[in-house]
């Protein structure tokens, strides 16, 4: 046993097995991690293999020792069964792989969707023209913030919960029925990256108001101007930021303060 462990070939095999176990079983249970996709596992394993080969070939004596078992399999008359089996298995694997590559199978077309498409410079909200560039949330400067937030909370729970969920993470009880999944406001890639005017536009115009690159035919986001007033949308936008703790991106003010 100890002799095997000292042999560079078996050390290399052991390293490969350990690396595989770590990638497939240990990484997914680490906090904040997920299952490693098969293609990524393959990449990792290739990297590990290259590393091992560099290590064994670094030293001439070790390299010779490393090759020994491989060589044995190729030439030893007593290992003929192993040799034949290896040849057969490798040949069959190559055959299966090639077949799965060339076999035609219809897959869902790739969904190339721009998550934050460029907003228009202005929108028409129930017949009123609203310029989005430079637009701030008017409720931040007028009225009682607590009242605005209470209003935003009411609107959120009456309208948004089924899809965006109690957690505001896009996992409401209807979310699984839609593709793309409803936006996850807790994620640092959604409202945390956006100005309030952008969020206002997305809420007001919904899926049907997306440009082509946003795949408007798939989005289940309603055009909320059918249901909510301008102030109601602004208050729910306030609520989203307040409840998640994100700060909206603000418009850069030029030195003159005029832009």
Partner 1 sequence: MIYPLLLLAVVATQDTSAGKQVYTKWCAGCHGVDGKGDGEGARHMIPPPRDFTGNALYQIRSTPSGQLPTDADLLRSIDEGLPGTAMPAWKTRLSDRQRRDVLAYIKTFSPYFADTTQRPQPVVFGSAPGGGSVADALRVGRQFYDSIGCRKCHGDLGRGDGPSAPTLKDDAGHPIFAADLHENWRFNGGGTAEDIYHRLRTGLDGTPMPSFSDLIEQKFLTDEQLWRVAQYVRSLSPKEPPAVRDVIHAPLVTKALPHAPDDSAWTSVDGYWFPLVGQVIRKERWFAPAVTGVWVKAVHTADSIALRVVWDDRSQSPDTAWLAHVGRVLNTLDSDDSTREQPAPWPDQLAVQFPVAIPSGMERPYFLMGSPGAPVYQWRWSSSSRTAAVAGLARGIDRFDPQAGSGPGVRVVYDHGQWRLTFTRALASADTASQLPFRTGRAIPVAFFAWDGSNGEHGTRMAISTWYFLALDEPVPARVFISPVLAMVLTLGLGMLVVWRAQQKTSYRRQQ
Asked if 170 contacts 183 with a C-beta cutoff of 8 angstroms, the reply is yes
* Phi (first) and psi of residue 33, to 5 degrees: -110, 170
For partner 1, the closer CB: 23 or 221? 221
Closest contact distance (angstroms) between CB of 34 and partner 1 is 13
CB neighbour list of residue 245: distance below 8 Å, 6 or more residues apart: none
Q: What are phi and psi of 56, to 5 degrees?
A: -70, -30
For residue 177, the minimal CB distance to partner 1 (Å) is: 3
Kindly state the smallest distance separating residue 95's Cβ from partner 1, in Å: 4
CB hemisphere CA count around 240 (13 angstroms)? 31
- List b or e across 135-160, with b for residues whose CB sees 16 or more CB atoms inside 10 angstroms: bebebeeeeeeeebbebbbebbeebb
Which is closer to partner 1, CB of 125 or CB of 178? 178
| Closest among 139, 138, 163, 167 to 151, alpha carbons compared | 139
Least CB distance from residue 243 to partner 1, whole Å?
7
Nearest CB to partner 1, comparing residues 209 and 248: 209
Q: Which is nearer to partner 1, 20 or 174 (CB)?
A: 174
If the CB atoms of residues 139 and 221 are measured against partner 1, the closer one turns out to be 221
Q: Using CB under 8 A, list all residues that contact partner 1.
A: 71, 74-75, 83, 86-87, 90-92, 94-96, 98-99, 102-112, 153-154, 156-158, 161-163, 165-167, 169, 171-174, 176-179, 206-208, 212, 215-218, 220-222, 226-227, 243
198 by DSSP, 3-state: which?
helix
CB of 244 vs partner 1, minimal distance in Å: 11
């Amino acid at each position: 046993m100890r002799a095997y462990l000292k042999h560079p070939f078996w050390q290399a095999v052991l390293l490969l097995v350990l690396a595989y176990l770590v990638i497939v079983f240990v990484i997914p249970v680490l906090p904040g991690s997920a299952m490693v996709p098969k293609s990524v596992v393959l990449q990792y394993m290739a990297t590990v293999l290259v590393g091992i080969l560099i290590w064994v070939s670094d030293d001439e004596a070790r390299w010779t020792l490393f090759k020994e078992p491989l060589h044995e399999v190729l030439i030893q008359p007593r290992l003929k069964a192993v040799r034949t089996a290896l040849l057969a298995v490798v040949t069959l694997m190559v055959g299966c792989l090639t077949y799965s590559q060339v076999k035609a199978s219809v897959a869902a077309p790739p969904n190339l969707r721009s998550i934050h498409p460029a907003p228009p410079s202005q929108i028409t909200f129930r017949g009123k023209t609203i310029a989005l560039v430079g637009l701030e949330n008017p409720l931040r400067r007028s009225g009682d913030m607590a009242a605005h937030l209470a209003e935003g909370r009411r609107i959120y729970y009456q309208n948004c919960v089924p899809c965006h969920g109690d957690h505001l993470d896009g996992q409401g009880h209807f979310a699984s029925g839609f593709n793309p999944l409803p936006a996850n406001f807790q994620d640092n890639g959604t409202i945390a990256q956006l100005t309030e005017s952008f969020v206002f536009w997305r809420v007001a115009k919904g899926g049907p108001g997306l440009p082509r690159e946003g795949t408007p035919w798939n989005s289940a986001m309603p055009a909320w101007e059918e249901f909510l007033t301008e102030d109601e949308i602004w208050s729910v936008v306030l609520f989203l930021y307040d409840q998640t703790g994100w700060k909206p991106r603000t418009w850069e003010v030029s030195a003159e303060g005029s832009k």
